[in-house]
Amino acid sequence: MNRRFWRVGLAILFAALALTATGYYFWPHTQPQNNVSGDVSVGSALGGDDSAGYQRAYQPRPFVFPTDHGPHPEFRNEWWYVTGNLTDASGREFGYQLTLFRIALAPTAPVADSAWRTNQVYMGHFALTDVTDNRHWAFERFSRGAMGLAGAQAAPLRVWLEDWELASTGPEPFPLRVRAHQDDIAVDLLLDTAKPLVLQGEQGLSQKSAEPGNASYYYSLTRLPTRGTISLNGQMFTVSGASWLDREWSTSALGPEQSGWDWFALQLNDGRDVMFYRLRRKNGGVDSFSKGVLVAADGSTRMLRWNEVDLQPLGAWTSPRTGDRYPAGWRLRVPTEKLDLTVTPKIADQEMRLTVRYWEGAVAVHDHASDRELQGQGYLEMTRFEPPVAVP
């Protein structure tokens, strides 16, 4: 889905400038939260990209695994995205995110006159939410896809950016080990499968706008039992819970009338999972290319069209660091499925103050009607509202 295209688009700009200036050599790569806080809009981050020479997603294609777990360098953008909600034995709650992006600077590889030279750049976002202590940390890295600094392979599955990585523990893709370490924060987690893989959109083709080729190939693993450890400021917590993995590759961007999106990945206690992304239009409306999927407890799926889902913001939260304003929660209704959910951030401040600002964090889910016991958890992503969100 295209909720990350603007981040990738801006990274292409920065990476291209840095690598061109240094002859494809590397530059300082780690940015902690708060030290960098960009002021770039979604539209400007993605506007005017040259897609000539890259492959584009025009029609459904057969997915072949494990090959498609690995990289697709003929496309410009690609990512491996993992989030999860975890608890320790005492009930202490955490949320985590690790996203590794592959970005092509040119459609063909350069002449290999140096082992450092490459047309592939990797970017990573790593975040941890300590719900109990009401704290959130986020970090960003860039590196070249050369000299073993960063890369991706399908068999065995491994995607890495220095010591941030997703890696199979054996010949099969799962169990998948997720590791990331930055300063006094680290995660070391083992993810397994509980449901079949989900092809998003039309058989894995996720169309983003009316323009031909403005689409991605997109699949998800929506419920991954997770166990492992979290290290935080000298303490180690043994945790368990559930994760979600998204995989997407494309040569695509927002349409000219699209301004941003709100993305929900929810795991309910009745065994169902819900993904929905709402594309926002510059005129304040909802784009008809918004869509999602409902995954039943047995793994069967049903696409959710843009007009099947009603989203209403609940209150507002203003970032004390940036002044950006976001909804403080959401009511998500799918009348055809008798779903009426309240989605609330587990802590308010999960703003990712990185190269481009956005909000992404752990959420709690409850049935809007108090007489039902349906509940759950998940992750929510919101890009900056332009103009600022008008919510009560």
Instruction: List the domain range (segments joined by +) for residue 266.
Output: 2-383
C-alpha to C-alpha distances, 91 to 83, 190, 228, 237, 380, nearest whole angstrom: 19, 19, 15, 11, 22
Output the DSSP codes for 233-276. Answer: TTEEEEEEEEEEEEEEEES----TTEEEEEEEEEEETTS-EEEE
pLDDT bin (cut points 50, 70, 90) of residue 385 is low
Query: Could you report the per-residue pLDDT of 244-272, keeping only the tens digit for each?
Result: 999 999 997 667 777 778 999 999 999 99
Q: Report yes or no on 98 lying in a domain.
A: yes
The amino acid occupying position 143 is S
C-alpha to C-alpha distances, 304 to 75, 293, 334, nearest whole angstrom: 27, 5, 9
Number of domains the chain contains:
1
The continuous run of DSSP H or E covering 46 comes out as helix 42-46
pLDDT bin (cut points 50, 70, 90) of residue 18 is very low
What is the number of helices (H) and of strands (E) in the chain? 2, 26
Residue 225 CB contacts under 8 Å (≥ 6 apart), including other chains? 191, 192, 193, 194, 240, 242
Q: Report yes or no on 392 lying in a domain.
A: no
Query: Could you report the per-residue pLDDT of 96-155, keeping only the tens digit for each?
Result: 999 999 999 998 888 777 888 899 999 999 999 999 999 999 999 999 999 999 999 999
This prediction has a pTM of 0.90
Residue 128 CB contacts under 8 Å (≥ 6 apart), including other chains? 94, 95, 96, 136, 137, 185, 187, 230, 232
Q: Report yes or no on 25 lying in a domain.
A: yes
- Closest to 187 in 3D by CA, of 244, 226, 142, 147: 226
Output the DSSP codes for 7-39. Answer: HHHHHHHHHHHHHHHTTS-----EEEBTTB---
Q: Report yes or no on 189 lying in a domain.
A: yes
Query: Could you report the per-residue pLDDT of 326-353, keeping only the tens digit for each?
Result: 999 999 999 999 999 999 999 999 999 9
- In this prediction, what percent of the chain has a pLDDT beyond 70? 84
Q: Report yes or no on 179 lying in a domain.
A: yes
What mean pLDDT do residues 345-372 have? 91
CATH at 73: 2.40.370.10
pLDDT at 23 over 80: no
The continuous run of DSSP H or E covering 292 comes out as strand 291-295
Q: Report yes or no on 388 lying in a domain.
A: no
Q: Report yes or no on 389 lying in a domain.
A: no
90 or 24: which leads in pLDDT? 90
The tokens for 245 are 């993995």
Q: Report yes or no on 340 lying in a domain.
A: yes
